[in-house]
């Protein structure tokens, strides 16, 4: 009995597919430092957890399809603090950023339509594109120049009559790159000239270093009809398990259509929305300490990497990922080897091979993504194992 083409074609998660190797290593008694996934170790704010503890309704009921009104009202305030002026009707709360992305793709594209996206990109864009029947057209960026946005002509080259949108992730997962206002401005100019939507994944908004500031697609002129922001609280409040995100646009027709998609699935989780709502006012004090912590980790990982002979990487300016190009041929083989055949005092490290983040065949084969989501002590140990492992791997192979 045949499955659908999309069921056959959809990419298996390149981040999760090596988990059996990690499980084997653990079964042998090894400790594995996970630098392969974006699950932060930062504590979820007490204010959020208290909501679960204090929930008093006797019936755990449906909420509105567009999300709880109190939460949407407070989101307006949150975004205003980030210089993003929207009103409550521009927001639909979604089941995490994932649902926001699939809604954005489905509402803008017919099957067969194309979305241009700088690569390497968040691998799950592939899954959503397959579900929506959308073709992602990669726009290659390079480790050597910090994954900077390519020149206009490189972008223009990708546009044809099937192109419906340009999708960016800013700050970038997996690159850690931050597109500045002048970059976003180039994207929006091209989008306006060619009547393309810009879908902007801004879930790492708060994770920006070196005093840089974040530029939202919704803070750009002329983007009322074309700008679509997708967002999530997963990383912002270290609340990945709450599954709360949103899609935001000032395009009323687009939001009315998106609401119909949202109505089909009834509503996002109710108590989790209330928890997200409780986080709205805690931002200031919470983020400074977190950013300081991540900045230390970033420096630690970057310094460790540039001290390894043959490793190429630029210091990331945002998010909590770094891509490193290694002096080897096959990063996936290296990652498996680290788990199967290597340890330092019964400890090893797991990384994400970067090839899965590229859509262009053959790219990223010698690159890995590291998520610096462990505390400094663990991170030091992990980077030491990585360095020793790489040396040994090169000697052995």
| Contacts (CB under 8 A) with a copy of itself, residues 214-253 | 225-226, 238-243, 251, 253
Residue 379 or 387: the one with the smaller Cβ distance to a copy of itself is 379
Segment contacting a copy of itself (CB under 8 A): 37-45, 77-85, 203-211, 376-384?
Answer: 37-45
> Min. distance of Cβ 60 from a copy of itself in angstroms?
4
Enclosing H/E stretch for 167: strand 163-169
Residue 113 or 183: the one with the smaller Cβ distance to a copy of itself is 113
> Min. distance of Cβ 266 from a copy of itself in angstroms?
6
Looking up tokens 């109505």 gives: 263
The site string for a copy of itself over 197-216 (x = CB under 8 A, - otherwise) reads x-------------------
Residue 123 or 215: the one with the smaller Cβ distance to a copy of itself is 123
List 16, 77, 252, 397, residue binding a copy of itself (CB under 8 A) = 16
**Residue 9 CA, distance from chain mean position:** 22
Cα(317)–Cα(309) distance, integer angstroms: 23
List 10, 30, 159, 306, residue binding a copy of itself (CB under 8 A) = 10
> Min. distance of Cβ 83 from a copy of itself in angstroms?
24
Residue 353 or 389: the one with the smaller Cβ distance to a copy of itself is 353
Cα(128)–Cα(363) distance, integer angstroms: 21
Contact between 266 and a copy of itself (CB under 8 A)?
yes
How many binding residues for a copy of itself (CB under 8 A)? 79
List 23, 87, 213, 263, residue binding a copy of itself (CB under 8 A) = 263
> Min. distance of Cβ 366 from a copy of itself in angstroms?
25
Cα(385)–Cα(168) distance, integer angstroms: 34
| Contacts (CB under 8 A) with a copy of itself, residues 132-191 | 133, 164
Cα(115)–Cα(317) distance, integer angstroms: 25
Reading the block at residue 310, the tokens are 């043959």
Residue 285 or 345: the one with the smaller Cβ distance to a copy of itself is 285
List 18, 96, 324, 390, residue binding a copy of itself (CB under 8 A) = 96
Q: Rounding to the nearest 10 degrees, give the CA dihedral for residues 364, 108, 101, 77.
A: 130
Q: Ramachandran region of residue 358, left (φ > 0), alpha (ψ -120 to 50) or beta?
A: beta
> Min. distance of Cβ 13 from a copy of itself in angstroms?
4
Contact between 27 and a copy of itself (CB under 8 A)?
no
Burial of 159 per CB tally in 10 Å (0-12, 13-18, 19+) = middle
Reduce the DSSP state of residue 326 to 3 states and report it.
coil
Considering only CA atoms, which of 243, 179, 189, 253 is closest in space to residue 216?
Answer: 179
Cα(242)–Cα(397) distance, integer angstroms: 44
List 201, 206, 272, 314, residue binding a copy of itself (CB under 8 A) = 272
List 23, 160, 195, 289, residue binding a copy of itself (CB under 8 A) = 195
Q: Within the chain, where are the H helices?
A: 5-9, 19-27, 46-53, 69-81, 96-108, 124-132, 152-157, 181-193, 252-264, 270-278, 283-306, 331-341, 376-396
């Amino acid at each position: 009995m045949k499955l659908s083409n999309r069921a056959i074609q959809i990419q298996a998660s390149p981040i999760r597919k090596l988990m059996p190797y990690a499980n084997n290593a653990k079964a042998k008694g090894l400790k594995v430092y996970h630098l392969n996934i974006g699950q932060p170790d930062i504590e979820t704010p007490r204010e959020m957890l208290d909501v679960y503890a204090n929930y008093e309704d006797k019936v755990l009921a449906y909420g509105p399809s567009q999300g709880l009104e109190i939460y949407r009202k407070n989101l307006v305030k949150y975004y205003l603090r980030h210089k993003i002026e929207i009103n409550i009707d521009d927001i639909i709360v979604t089941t995490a950023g994932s649902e926001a992305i699939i809604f954005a793709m489905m509402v803008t594209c017919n099957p067969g339509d194309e979305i241009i996206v700088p690569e390497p990109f968040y691998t799950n864009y592939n899954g959503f594109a397959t579900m929506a029947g959308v073709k992602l057209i990669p726009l290659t960026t390079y480790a050597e120049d910090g994954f900077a946005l390519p020149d206009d002509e490189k972008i223009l080259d990708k546009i044809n009559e099937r192109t419906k949108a340009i999708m960016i992730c800013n700050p970038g997962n997996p690159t850690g790159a931050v597109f500045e206002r002048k970059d976003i401005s180039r994207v929006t100019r091209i989008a306006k000239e060619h009547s393309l939507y810009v879908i902007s994944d801004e879930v790492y908004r708060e994770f920006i270093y070196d005093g840089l500031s974040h530029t939202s697609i919704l803070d750009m002129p002329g983007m009322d009809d074309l700008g679509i922001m997708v967002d999530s609280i997963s990383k912002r409040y270290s609340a990945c398990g709450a599954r709360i995100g949103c899609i935001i646009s000032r395009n009323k027709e687009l939001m009315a259509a998106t609401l119909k998609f949202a109505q089909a699935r009834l509503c996002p989780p109710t108590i989790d929305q209330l928890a997200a709502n409780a986080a709205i006012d805690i931002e200031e004090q919470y983020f400074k300490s977190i950013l300081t912590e991540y900045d230390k980790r970033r420096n630690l990982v970057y310094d460790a990497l540039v001290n390894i002979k043959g490793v190429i990487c630029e210091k990331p300016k945002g998010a909590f990922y770094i891509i490193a190009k290694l002096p080897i041929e096959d990063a996936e083989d290296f990652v498996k080897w680290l788990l199967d055949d290597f340890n330092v005092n019964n400890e090893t490290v797991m990384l994400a091979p970067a090839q899965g983040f590229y859509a262009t065949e053959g790219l990223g084969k010698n690159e890995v993504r590291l998520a610096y989501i462990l505390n400094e002590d663990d991170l030091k140990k992990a980077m030491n194992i990585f360095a020793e492992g790489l040396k040994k791997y090169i000697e052995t192979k």
